[in-house]
Structure 1
Amino acid sequence: MMTAIPPENILNRVLSALRLSPLERVRDLLMLMERCSLRELQEIFPHIVHYIFGVNGNPLGWGLRTTTPESGMNVYKTLEQFFGVCGPWMIVCHRLLAEQAKFVIDISLLPVKLVTMLQTGQSPMFYSDLLNIDPEKHQVSTLSLNSFDFYMLHFVLHGLQPLHSIDPVAMQIHNTRSKTVYLMLVSEYLNNFLPLFPDARIEPSYFSGGVKAPQPLPTQSLQPQRQPRFIRIPSSYRNGNSSGGGSGGPGGGNISPQSMSASVSAARNYAWRSESVLHFFVDIWLRYDVESEHHLPGSDWVRAVRTLVKQIHFFASTAPVDPTSLCSLRKLSLSMVKGRIYAFLSGLIDRWPLDSSLLVVLELWLSYIQPWRYTMAILNSRESGQSYKPAITSAYDAFIMDNLIVYTHIFMQLLPQFGRLDYTVYRNCQMLNRLAMTFGDQNLADRLQRFERLHSGNSYGFDSPHRQTHLLSKSLPQSAQWSSMPKLFSDTMRADMENFLFVISMARNQVLREVSRLRMEILEKQRLEGFLKNFLHRMWNEPSQDETLLADVSRVPEVLRQCIDHLCRAFNLDQANLSMHETLPEECTLPTSISANNRSFFNTSDSLLDTSRLNPRQMSMNASNLTAAIDPALLPIQTGEITYLVRRLHRISDAINQKYKIQLQSSYERQDYFGSLTRQLLLAPMIEQWFDKRDGNTDIRERTVTARISLRPLASKFLLSVVACFMVLGFLFLGSALKGLGTLVALFMGYVLLMAICSP
């Protein structure tokens, strides 16, 4: 039997363990927590939480938002298991519930909108027994939370940290849309505590107790003077059908445990964690004031918000068939999101940079306005492997009417952004296609048009951004408010859409011409190089830059054609009108070239030589052409590479390049055969360029890179398999595996020498 650790040493032992590497840290903490008493756990618990999420310290914390399978599978798996819903840490949180331990968090850590709501007494009843009032200032100063709520609140707040502006590694991870530990835990927590199926079991299910003891209600000055405008809590919910998690339920202050029936008490123990998770995620994330904050949120956090939106759709979809205590919470969840999503999306779109990362904002919006994609039938079809397209039935009419402004005004807000994109870039065409396919659904377009004509839509129910508060003024009747707003299907909007589609049509025609030109250039280049060099090139090398560009650009015309078809159908436009204009207006002039030079940071066309001649439209179109130029040796590790070898070979290559930098560059510049041979083996000099978004703006950074050696190809799984095959063949036919390896090396050297002869 393990001996207890002396109380005076436990905190020091924990602080020492927290300074270790991730694997050692988790191992030592597991050992310490197993040997701690509940009182000792209560003492160390807040310190560990603060270290995990970097409160008052390193914002990276334990690196939940920077750890990916690519960065280290062992660390990723360890953190995933440690913080999982059935992991050791969640068990510790539930062990402390038995002691009804309270932990305090300062409200200054919360979003400004949520703090204002708490200070003015307009908060939902969920927070009623969490508030602590400063006796001197007579204001809410802190929240008292149980262990589960304390951890979960810090977990949600951690997503708001602008890590992409603090750590370059975080910026790279978030831009490549890698799956971090944090995103995995967000999905796991939401799936567990906001389950789709009514009969799902919320884990961990074996803890005892768990509902916080009732506390006196806050003073009268903190009570709402009227029912909260956006959150209508059913009376059955307030009376205990679903209790307030760590808060003890909305009615926890008025109902004593002795007066509760056994069934109601069991329902409280089952549902309170779900209520806490729902309120913390929605109130904190969707009350983040994008317009007022200095830093934009990271794209990984926007993806996490999308996960929340999708899970709430799943959660709310089974409310009609749920007989459990979660039924009231399911009905409440969508209305909580609806009151805040418009201002949140509008603020994001206003400030988001016009690059490929706009896709994460677009996906978030499309997920919210398509609840029919997140139902039990969809999950069943995925599990069975069947292709199932959900229908937009009359069951969703109420949702569309209540959220009409989210459909129409966000679309109109996005349209100018899409008008400034470069549609010679395939990923931009994909974004437009996502938008066009959604609104090209005739069932959705007809409903939106019909509801707009009826002047429906609840314009009161949205927490609108500052710049549009005049549109939602309470001084006007609701019908007047709605009629004063611009309409998506008005004549003005139809004209704007026709102009937009004309630009798309011209971009498509230009791409078709460029595809033809690129094909002719590649064929001419291959003819000049000769058959032998082309044959060897295809045998050993990857496709050239021109060939890769051609493959990407060739997909663009068909995608743009589909976009035009969808949007013409949605807005009842005649495609014949798009070809009636003979010339493109000056302000709609498109980029003149999508040659291989567009892979560099700047468009080399003459229009950039004198920026004083550019109108705003041309400047925005040129800006949309900017793409980062990255050293191939520094690209993210691919699935076809061995991670350990890539990193080891990079360190070796870097050491060689640092030591022989001058010699390598001079050899590369020689004009004799030795120089030609060197150019076959080294990476060419380049100017490395990238976007820096750490201060909330998109700035250009560049660095000159000289000729250098790169051993990274040796980490390719394909190359290693070729080596293994030659060694096996050498063993079978030549009697030695080394002879097979030597044959491969000889073939490679012969290829390099021959290419050096053929190259200039």
Structure 2
Amino acid sequence: MMPAIPPENILNRVLLVLRYPPVERVHELIMLMDRCSLRELQEIFPHIVHCIFGVNGNPLGWGLRTTTPESGINVYKALEQFFGMCGTWMCVCHRLLTEQAKFDIDISLLPGKMVTMLQTGQSPLFYADLLNIDPQTHQLVSLSLNSFDFYMVHFVLHGLQPLHSIDPVAMQIHNTRSKTVYLLLVSEYLNNFLPLFPDARIEPSYLGAQGIKAPQPLPTQSLQPLGQPSYIKIPSSYRNGNSSGGGSGGPGGGNISPQSTSASVTAARNYTWRSESVLHFFSDIWLRYDVETEHHLPGSDWVRAVRTLVKQIHFFASAAQADHGSLCSLRKLSLIIVKGRIYAFLSGLIDRWPLDSSLLVVLELWLSYIQPWRYTMATLNSRVSSHSYKPAITSAYDAFIMDNLIVYTHVFMQLLPHFGRLDYTVYRNCLMLNRLAITFGDQDLVDRLLRFERLHSGNSYGFESPLRQTHLLNKSPPQSAQWSSMPKLFSDIMRMEMENFLFVISMARNQVLREVSRLRMEILEKQRLEGFLKNFLHRMWHEPSQDETLLADVSRVPEVLRQCIDYLCRSFHVDQANLSMHETLPEECISPPSILANNRSFFNTSDSLMDTSRLNPRHMSLNASNLTAAIDPALLPIQTGEITYLVRQLHTISNAINQKYKIQLQSCYERQDFLGSLTRQLLLAPMIEQWFDKRDGNTDIWERTVTARVSLRPLASMSVLSVVACFMVMAFVFLGSALKGLGILVALFMGYILLMALCWP
């Protein structure tokens, strides 16, 4: 048995271990915490939490939001196992619950809207016994949390760090939508504590009742609300302990004394209090983040995490009717909590999000919230058996659609101008519009929205208003009057707006069709000039050219845009015949000259979008002509006709050769004799590589000069390998040796290269 560490050295030992590399750090901490007493764990616990999430230090912390399987599979697995539901860290958090240990967190770490909610007393009963009030100033200074809640609050707050603005790795993850440890843990925690199935078991099992503490008195009078908060109503049965009672102060808390609580209710509260904590902390911290006033926007990985929260709450709430256990009340309350904040949150997010293809993450978040029928036990089982399953919108969802009507209609109207300014020569932007069109092309949904909008008075009861609408409509006395003054989605005004929008989409589609025709003509003309033999050999030995790849991508655009036009015309009763009138108009009437031809950025230096109200797709297309990216062909994404393993191995070998003989290769390439001509046939030509770098909403071009270099990537092509296999098989059959076939192929290739070097010096 290993000797115990003296108490006075335990903290120093932990601080030393926290400097180790990730895998070694996790391994040492596991052994260290196994040997610690509860008192020692209580001492080191907050220091470890602060280090994990970079509180008052490096914002990256342990790198939960930058570690992916691609960046390091060993580190990824070590962190996943350590922080997982049955991992060492969760066991430590629950071990400290038996001692009723409390840890304070300063309210300055919380989002401003949440602090305001707590200070004004407009908070659910959940927070009643968590508030620490300064006796001198009578102001809220901190929250007193148990070990589980202390970790969970820091975990949720970590997602708000704008890491993409300070770390290049986080920026890459932001753009590629990689799966980080943080996103994995978000999904795991929510699936566990907000389970879909009523009979699901919440891990780790926690049965002790020692963590139940006596209820604290309610906050001082200055923190009491003047009345019941309008945005949330907590059922009396819920407050009285049917679910989790007092929230986070322990497995119970609340306003019922332990003496009057039955053993069965106590056991139920022991089971559900963690679910209540997770629901409140994730919803209050993330959905109360003030996206309209904060200087930096969190990254798109955080928006994806919020979408995971929204989907899981839909799953959680959908089982309320089937759950007759202790989580039933919490399931019914979950959607009410989200509903009160989602509109202001989405509106602020859309207002400030950059106008590029990353807008898709915001669109997916909104579409997930407004389609609860996609997240039920029935749809989950149906998706397993059929990927094409489309759930029906039944009358059971009428109440949800009615309650969230402005989230459907006003957010759609807010998004429409943004979609009108996207560049639809980009296939990803077309797919984004297609997602929107398919959702609102569902006739069942459109019929309900039309019917409810006619019946609805515009009352916004239950919603927080975004700042932009508060400032715009602050002269309207009642809140319901504010919303009733907004245009309706199916009004005549909106139908005209939709017709103008679809006119722009139709114009963009015709422009893409002309571009497809032009590219095809250019490729055919180039092939005609090169001749049949060179084209045949080029197709056999080389990947498609950049023009051919571009043509393949652009060719998919017109059909996607046509489907979008069909869906939206049918939903908003727009006559498609009116959309073709621009074909008879002169070009200068369709799109005036670009006013931003010399500007390389669509965005200003702030996080807000510049004034692009006068831009149309033609403007954006002309402006984008200065933003063309040039990528090294050896670094293009792996194609479907390539073997992934070979591409990576051959790339490694090519890099080693290029780094070692970089000067010699460039020197041979520049020679004007036959050796130089031969080298130019074998090596990739020098180029200036250009790529886009997006920070704080700006789109800038970065450049790097690339010299002549070896690229063995064509050898990973399935077509090349097929030719090699055919030669070897034929040689084995007719000549008795497969190697002879390989030799013949190499000889033919060298002869071709020599011929090309002679003809094209």
Structure 1 length-normalised TM: 0.89
8 Å contact from structure 1 (residues 681, 709) kept in 2? no
Map residues 449-488 of structure 1 onto 2, 5 A cutoff: 449-469=450-470, 476-477=477-478, 480-488=481-489
Shift of 1:430: 0.7
Aligned to 1:13: 13
Aligned in 2, Cα 1:233/1:737: closer, same or farther, shift over 3 Å? farther
8 Å contact from structure 1 (residues 70, 637) kept in 2? no
CA distance in 2, matches of 1:720, 1:532: 17
CA distance in 2, matches of 1:647, 1:701: 25
CA distance in 1, matches of 2:314, 2:258: 33
Query: Cα deviations across residues 618-663 of structure 1 (Å, max 9, x unaligned)?
Result: 5444446645444455567888147984785476356337x52xx5
8 Å contact from structure 2 (residues 693, 702) kept in 1? no
Aligned to 1:596: none
Aligned to 2:529: 528
Aligned to 2:127: 127
8 Å contact from structure 1 (residues 459, 472) kept in 2? no
8 Å contact from structure 1 (residues 214, 248) kept in 2? no
Aligned to 2:86: 86
8 Å contact from structure 1 (residues 233, 332) kept in 2? yes
Aligned in 2, Cα 1:719/1:478: closer, same or farther, shift over 3 Å? same
1:697 aligns with 2:697: yes
CA distance in 2, matches of 1:637, 1:33: 45
CA distance in 1, matches of 2:528, 2:715: 34
8 Å contact from structure 2 (residues 212, 251) kept in 1? no
1:655 aligns with 2:656: no
Aligned to 1:589: 591
Aligned in 2, Cα 1:724/1:540: closer, same or farther, shift over 3 Å? closer
Aligned to 1:611: none
1:175 aligns with 2:175: yes
Query: Cα deviations across residues 27-70 of structure 1 (Å, max 9, x unaligned)?
Result: 11111112222222111111111111111111111111111111
Map residues 479-518 of structure 1 onto 2, 5 A cutoff: 480-518=481-519
Aligned in 2, Cα 1:521/1:635: closer, same or farther, shift over 3 Å? closer
Aligned in 2, Cα 1:150/1:615: closer, same or farther, shift over 3 Å? closer
8 Å contact from structure 1 (residues 248, 272) kept in 2? no
Aligned to 2:27: 27
CA distance in 1, matches of 2:588, 2:251: 62
Shift of 1:683: 3.3
Shift of 1:103: 1.3
**What code does the residue aligned with 1:225 have?**
L
Q: Which range moved further: 616-625 or 252-261?
A: 616-625
**What code does the residue aligned with 2:585 have?**
T
Shift of 1:423: 1.4
**What code does the residue aligned with 1:552 have?**
D
CA distance in 1, matches of 2:681, 2:705: 17
Gaps of 5+ in 1: 593-600, 604-613
Map residues 408-427 of structure 1 onto 2, 5 A cutoff: 408-427=409-428
SS at match of 1:99: coil
Shift of 1:467: 1.3
8 Å contact from structure 2 (residues 651, 711) kept in 1? no
Aligned in 2, Cα 1:315/1:527: closer, same or farther, shift over 3 Å? same
Shift of 1:126: 0.9
CA distance in 1, matches of 2:190, 2:304: 14
Aligned in 2, Cα 1:273/1:14: closer, same or farther, shift over 3 Å? same
Aligned to 2:58: 58
8 Å contact from structure 2 (residues 670, 676) kept in 1? yes
Map residues 284-323 of structure 1 onto 2, 5 A cutoff: 284-323=285-324
CA distance in 2, matches of 1:292, 1:586: 40
8 Å contact from structure 1 (residues 149, 246) kept in 2? no
Structure 2 length-normalised TM: 0.89
Shift of 1:77: 1.6
**What code does the residue aligned with 2:644 have?**
G
Map residues 278-289 of structure 1 onto 2, 5 A cutoff: 278-289=279-290
8 Å contact from structure 2 (residues 79, 181) kept in 1? yes
CA distance in 2, matches of 1:723, 1:4: 67
CA distance in 1, matches of 2:731, 2:245: 71
Aligned to 2:152: 152
SS at match of 2:132: strand
Shift of 1:754: 4.6
CA distance in 2, matches of 1:568, 1:164: 39
CA distance in 2, matches of 1:446, 1:409: 17
Map residues 203-602 of structure 1 onto 2, 5 A cutoff: 203-206=203-206, 208-209=208-209, 211-217=211-217, 218-243=219-244, 247-248=248-249, 252-385=253-386, 387-469=388-470, 476-477=477-478, 480-581=481-582, 582-583=584-585, 588-589=590-591
Q: Which range moved further: 136-145 or 542-551?
A: 136-145
**What code does the residue aligned with 1:409 have?**
H
8 Å contact from structure 1 (residues 726, 744) kept in 2? no
CA distance in 1, matches of 2:137, 2:635: 55
8 Å contact from structure 1 (residues 420, 621) kept in 2? no
**What code does the residue aligned with 1:504 have?**
I
SS at match of 2:644: coil
CA distance in 1, matches of 2:317, 2:257: 30
Aligned to 1:608: none
8 Å contact from structure 2 (residues 131, 142) kept in 1? yes
CA distance in 1, matches of 2:724, 2:104: 61
Shift of 1:666: 5.0
Shift of 1:718: 6.1
Aligned to 2:190: 190
Shift of 1:384: 2.2
Aligned in 2, Cα 1:29/1:736: closer, same or farther, shift over 3 Å? farther
Shift of 1:732: 8.3
CA distance in 2, matches of 1:10, 1:714: 57
Aligned in 2, Cα 1:95/1:651: closer, same or farther, shift over 3 Å? farther
8 Å contact from structure 1 (residues 730, 736) kept in 2? no
SS at match of 2:144: strand
SS at match of 2:179: coil
Q: Among all aligned residue pairs of Structure 1 and Structure 2, give the percentage whose two residues are the same amino acid.
A: 77
**Aligned-CA RMSD value:** 3.3
Query: Cα deviations across residues 199-227 of structure 1 (Å, max 9, x unaligned)?
Result: 11111115534744234223232232221
8 Å contact from structure 2 (residues 425, 512) kept in 1? yes
8 Å contact from structure 2 (residues 156, 286) kept in 1? yes
Q: Which range moved further: 418-427 or 712-721?
A: 712-721
Aligned in 2, Cα 1:490/1:246: closer, same or farther, shift over 3 Å? closer
**What code does the residue aligned with 1:83 have?**
F
SS at match of 1:459: coil
* Matched pairs, number: 738
Shift of 1:272: 0.6
Aligned to 1:164: 164
Query: Cα deviations across residues 493-544 of structure 1 (Å, max 9, x unaligned)?
Result: 1111111111211222222222222222222222221222212221221111
Shift of 1:584: 6.4
Shift of 1:678: 2.9
Aligned in 2, Cα 1:643/1:324: closer, same or farther, shift over 3 Å? farther
**What code does the residue aligned with 1:441 have?**
D
SS at match of 1:430: helix
8 Å contact from structure 2 (residues 138, 220) kept in 1? no
CA distance in 1, matches of 2:445, 2:534: 55
Shift of 1:383: 2.0
Aligned in 2, Cα 1:57/1:443: closer, same or farther, shift over 3 Å? same
Aligned in 2, Cα 1:187/1:724: closer, same or farther, shift over 3 Å? farther
SS at match of 2:321: helix
Query: Cα deviations across residues 416-473 of structure 1 (Å, max 9, x unaligned)?
Result: 1111112122111111111111111111112112222223454132211111015665
Query: Cα deviations across residues 142-163 of structure 1 (Å, max 9, x unaligned)?
Result: 1111111111111111110111
CA distance in 2, matches of 1:191, 1:584: 57
8 Å contact from structure 2 (residues 68, 178) kept in 1? yes
Query: Cα deviations across residues 303-356 of structure 1 (Å, max 9, x unaligned)?
Result: 111111111111111111110111111111111111111111111111111111
CA distance in 2, matches of 1:602, 1:757: 45
8 Å contact from structure 1 (residues 421, 624) kept in 2? no
